[in-house]
């Protein structure tokens, strides 16, 4: 098969949702329909139960499970589908944001009762940064929920994306009878007693057909006719180009738990979702069809065995063909590396692979060479862009409790932050280490791992910072002035960029007002940052 054919058959995507909307259930059902697993219940929820915040074993288990389900690949109708798992727990949101840099599209699951929730909004903002195409799946239609039109309005207004329903629900909760597939003009009838994957499909090409009344009853049929007329009047025709540029989200309704609406979703997904596209580097646009291999690391996972500090780096392939045992250039450290055991993840099995193609994600065993965002190439000196750090929300100072173990602590915190467990900011004087995360759970993880993997003993002292802001300017003297004046709130990130640790939204606003020449960014993704910042 040619490189182009390999690329065209790949669909690499993530499923995102607010916790509990049904992401795990939908993932499992997609694997079932794809024939990748045989029984429901095979995919473990990667949720950390609410009680687990103080139960470290639970976190360890979680880490184990999430390695196994980090990538789930399967073949379906001549398409190679790569699902990249995103942690549901909000404390691991940064992991999710980074994983989204490695996908070509997403499916967003929304609970029909709760509508758009907090986490959905944040994830959508991240999708918007790269214009990632989004398909919406409105789940739990077997339960009482909001009116379908209200849900669509809510999505459009709160997520600022246009929507176009491709299926339409007939009733909801106790009155839910199924959906009308507006794309293929058929009725898909719901039967709660059916647990197997099968469908009752009735073809209705014209909604005035009396067959509709026979199938769902006169009242529901009239309501459906009215609804569809309204849908056709209000929403524009589905435009695949607008979907691909992230402006328009097709919407499906269903119930993942009851296998309902999942196959429509999957079949439409493989039809419309984009295959791997070109990606920006600091020197050029890299096309997947470029014969030379390139890829980037978007996730690093510590191995579970504390006696070995091996890690698995997850690499997304962007161009050419990756081959086992071939030397590749690690651009940041300017070193040639070869990999004898690159791993692929087919559904739940890990296996060593000989080759992989754009869109694929492979696991590389690593002894500490990789950081998140690193680029591997066949020799070219270029680095992929768009693997940002986001401002943490909780900041604490790391205090060394055992001066005899200073070296271990330094190494440990460096490696853990390279893995992306948290972000490290160094403040002067005294090389003070400020650790920033999006959730409390990470501090426990860090403390535990420093102790168990590095033998270092540390404590955290809360810091009342509100955001870490990266800065750019056209006027270096202003930035120098700002850094001098605000010295006690200035730190450096892992790449030696200055950041402003603002104590409150108000103080950030005053800094912006006092220094209009400086732009403050809450993600590290900004153009020409290196050139413009000090
Ligand atoms: P998440 O990964 O997005 O956090 O959600 P998950 O799939 O774990 O689903 C959250 C809960 O919602 C689960 O129930 C799941 O069974 C239920 N659920 C998912 N899809 C549907 C649906 O279509 N209809 C209905 N009625 N429920 C659905 P749970 O009680 O929290 O967990 P479990 O004990 O069933 O595993």
Same domain, 126 and 225: yes
Number of domains in the chain: 3
Residues with Cβ within 8 Å of residue 451, at least 6 apart in sequence: 457, 458
**What CATH number corresponds to the domain at position 346?**
3.40.50.300
Same domain, 108 and 163: yes
What is the full DSSP assignment across 278-303? -EEBSS-EEPTT-SS-EEEEEEEEE-
Ligand 1 atom closest to 260 (CA): 23
Among 272, 305, 323, the domain boundary falls at 272
Ligand 1 contact, 262 CB (< 6 A): no
Give the Å distance between the CA of 140 and the centre of ligand 1: 8
Residue 307 lies in a domain: yes
Give the Å distance between the CA of 208 and the centre of ligand 1: 37
Ligand 1 contact, 259 CB (< 6 A): no
- Tens-digit pLDDT string for the chain (534 aa): 899 999 999 999 999 998 889 998 898 889 888 877 666 555 554 444 433 333 445 555 555 555 555 788 888 999 999 999 887 666 667 778 888 999 999 999 999 999 999 888 888 988 988 899 999 999 999 999 999 999 999 999 999 899 999 999 998 888 888 888 887 888 888 776 654 445 566 777 788 888 888 888 899 999 999 999 999 999 988 999 999 999 999 999 999 998 888 888 999 999 999 999 999 999 999 999 999 999 999 988 876 555 666 788 999 999 999 999 999 999 999 999 999 999 887 655 678 889 999 999 999 998 888 988 899 999 999 999 877 777 888 999 999 999 899 999 999 998 888 888 889 999 988 889 999 988 888 888 888 889 888 899 999 999 999 999 999 999 999 999 999 999 999 999 988 899 999 999 999 999 999 999 999 998 876 543 343 333
Same domain, 367 and 410: no
Same domain, 210 and 250: yes
Same domain, 115 and 169: yes
Pocket test for ligand 1, best of 17, 18, 20 (most atoms within 8 A of CB): 20
Round to whole Å and give the CA distance between 27 and 43: 8
Same domain, 283 and 267: no
Give the Å distance between the CA of 346 and the centre of ligand 1: 24
Same domain, 214 and 244: yes
Closest to 259 (Cα-Cα) out of 203, 211, 310, 198: 198
Residue 40 lies in a domain: yes
Residue 532 lies in a domain: no
What is the domain extent for residue 475? Answer: 394-521
Residue 526 lies in a domain: no
Residue 287 lies in a domain: yes
Same domain, 194 and 245: yes
Residues with Cβ within 8 Å of residue 498, at least 6 apart in sequence: 470, 471, 479, 483, 490, 491, 492, 533, 534
Give the Å distance between the CA of 257 and the centre of ligand 1: 7
Same domain, 221 and 177: yes
Round to whole Å and give the CA distance between 22 and 256: 7
Residue 119 lies in a domain: yes
Same domain, 206 and 64: yes
Among 223, 246, 272, the domain boundary falls at 272
**What CATH number corresponds to the domain at position 398?**
3.30.70.3280
Residue 384 lies in a domain: no
Among 219, 238, 272, the domain boundary falls at 272
What is the full DSSP assignment across 386-432? ----B--SEEEEEEES-GGGHHHHHHHHHHHHHTTSSEEEEETTTTE
Round to whole Å and give the CA distance between 252 and 256: 11
Residue 530 lies in a domain: no
Contact 137, 255 (CB under 8 A): no
Same domain, 258 and 343: no
Same domain, 170 and 252: yes
């Amino acid at each position: 098969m040619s490189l182009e054919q390999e690329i065209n058959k790949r669909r690499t995507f993530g499923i995102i949702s607010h916790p509990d909307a049904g992401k795990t259930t939908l993932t499992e059902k997609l694997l079932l329909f794809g024939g990748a697993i045989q029984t429901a219940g095979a995919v473990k929820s990667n949720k950390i139960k609410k009680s687990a915040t103080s139960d470290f074993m639970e976190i360890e288990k979680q880490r184990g499970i999430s390695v196994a389900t980090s990538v789930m690949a399967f073949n379906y109708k001549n398409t190679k589908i790569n699902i990249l798992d995103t942690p549901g727990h909000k404390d691991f949101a940064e992991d999710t944001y980074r994983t989204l840099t490695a996908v070509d599209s997403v499916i967003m699951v929304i609970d029909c009762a709760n509508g758009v929730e907090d986490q959905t909004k944040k994830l959508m903002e991240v999708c918007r940064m790269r214009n990632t195409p989004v398909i919406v799946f409105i789940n739990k239609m077997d339960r009482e929920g909001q009116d379908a039109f209200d849900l669509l309005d809510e999505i459009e207004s709160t997520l600022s994306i246009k929507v176009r329903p491709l299926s339409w629900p007939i009733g909801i909760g106790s009155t839910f009878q199924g959906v009308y597939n507006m794309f293929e003009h058929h009725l898909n009838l719901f039967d709660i007693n059916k647990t197997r994957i099968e469908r009752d499909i009735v073809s209705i090409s014209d909604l005035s057909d009396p067959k509709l009344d026979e199938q769902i009853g006169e009242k529901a049929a009239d309501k459906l006719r009215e609804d569809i007329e309204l849908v056709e009047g209000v929403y524009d025709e589905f435009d695949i180009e607008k979907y691909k540029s992230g402006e328009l989200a097709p919407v499906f309704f269903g119930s993942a738990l009851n296998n309902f609406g999942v196959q429509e979703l999957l079949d439409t997904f493989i039809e419309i979702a984009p295959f791997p596209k070109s990606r920006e580097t600091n020197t050029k646009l890299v096309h997947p069809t470029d014969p030379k291999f390139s890829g980037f690391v978007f996730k690093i996972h510590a191995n579970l065995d504390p006696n070995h500090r091996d890690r698995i780096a997850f690499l997304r392939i962007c161009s050419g063909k990756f081959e086992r045992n071939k030397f590749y250039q690690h651009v940041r450290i300017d070193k040639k590396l070869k990999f004898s055991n690159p791993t692929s993840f087919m559904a739940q099995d890990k296996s060593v692979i000989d080759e992989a193609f754009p869109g694929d994600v492979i696991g590389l065993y690593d002894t500490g060479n990789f950081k998140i965002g690193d680029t591997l190439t066949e020799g070219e000196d270029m680095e992929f862009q768009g693997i940002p750090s986001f401002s943490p929300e909780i900041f604490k100072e790391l205090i060394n409790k055992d001066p005899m173990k200073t070296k271990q602590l330094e190494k440990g915190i460096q490696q853990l932050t390279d893995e992306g467990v948290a972000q490290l900011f160094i403040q002067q004087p005294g090389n003070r280490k400020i650790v920033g995360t999006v959730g409390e759970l990470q501090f426990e993880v860090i403390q535990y791992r420093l102790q168990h993997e590095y033998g270092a003993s540390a404590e955290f002292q809360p810091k009342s910072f509100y955001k870490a802001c990266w800065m750019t300017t056209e006027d270096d003297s202003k930035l120098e002035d700002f850094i001098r004046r605000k010295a006690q709130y200035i730190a450096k990130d892992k790449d030696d960029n200055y950041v402003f640790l603002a104590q409150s939204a108000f103080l950030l606003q005053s800094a912006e007002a006092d220094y209009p020449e400086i732009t403050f960014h809450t993600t590290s993704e900004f153009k020409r940052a290196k050139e413009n910042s000090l």
